[in-house]
Amino acid sequence: MKAAVIEALGQPPAYADFPEPTGQQGAVVATVEAAALTNLTRGLVSGAHYGSSGLALPSVAGVDGVARLPDGRRVYTGAVSPYGMMAERALIDPRGAVDVPDDVAAVTAAAAPNPGLSAWMSLHHAAQIRPGRHLLVLGATGVTGALAVQLAKLEFGVQRVVAVGRDAARLQWLRSVGADDTIRLGHDDLRTRVADAHHDRPFDAVLDYLWGEPAEQVLSALGNQGLGATFHATRYVQVGSMAGATINLPASILRSAGVTVTGVGFGSVPTDVVVRGRTEFLPRLFGMLADGQLQLTTQAEPLANVEGVWAQREPSGTRVVFIP
């Protein structure tokens, strides 16, 4: 069969032949309909992600996607290693699969769960967000950040969402789907804007998809100056590092304010929360997509184009999805 084959970490997958999977120990062979090119998949293949060390080579790229099981069910699922989802067929454990409704296109169903689950776990578990809260999303113009803005209102009833990003057009669009205010990186004074907003109505949580210098500015804005400052609990949730892998964090920020720093990724979320996300939230996510409440931009590409597409950066806020 044809697949996106990983021969070595740090190199794009090649569109090449790979051995056909065979059913084993409860796993079945499924026909893949769509597989998304996520930041997680890119990171694993690059060798830069902390999960890369567990990859067996050669293997097939693609963490998740939509496939048709032998019994006819169309499901969102991952594949049993070394078979990834960027292939004509994959080895699937049906026990971990989630049914995809008929009224949700395969491309959309493949694109939404990874960022949607990440946003949901960040809001529900790490940020412990509740109705009426005040939220800052740093890196809101990306795929996951944009879903987090929308879900904050649709799923969690957040009162006020401030979206931070670089793309002016995307920031304007975010105002139409849930953002109450926006801050443009490279144009607005991030530290001053965040400090002013935090002073007027303290942030209860920050979702950070950027890290690096933007995180330094936001954390500095959350810190208090002088003695006798009023305490307010702010959960700072680190999710992505598009602007840099490290920061300089003065100790005084954590001593002067009620900021708690945590993260969302492999190993940082309890298993029961992950299971709840897949079994309880994913059906609601598909429902929101089906009725148009949730907006997600996709770009479908033939799997045969994987090498060329891999080397490019998709437009801001767009999720590339490969069709075998």
Domains of the chain are 2-112+295-322 (3.90.180.10), 127-263 (3.90.180.10)
Under DSSP, the state recorded for 214 is: H
pLDDT tens for the chain, 324 residues: list them: 999 999 988 899 999 999 999 988 889 999 999 999 998 899 888 877 777 767 778 999 999 999 999 999 999 999 999 999 999 999 999 998 999 999 999 999 999 999 999 999 999 999 999 999 999 999 999 999 999 999 999 999 999 999 999 999 999 999 999 999 999 999 999 999 999 999 999 999 999 999 999 999 999 999 876 555 688 999 999 999 999 999 999 999 999 899 999 999 888 999 999 999 999 999 999 999 999 999 999 999 999 999 999 988 888 899 999 999
Residues near 228 by Cβ (< 8 Å), separated by ≥ 6?
none
Q: Look at residue 50 and give its three-state secondary structure.
A: coil
CA separation for the pair 140, 21 (Å, rounded) = 39
- Map residue 181 onto helix, strand or coil: strand
- As a residue count, the chain comes to 324
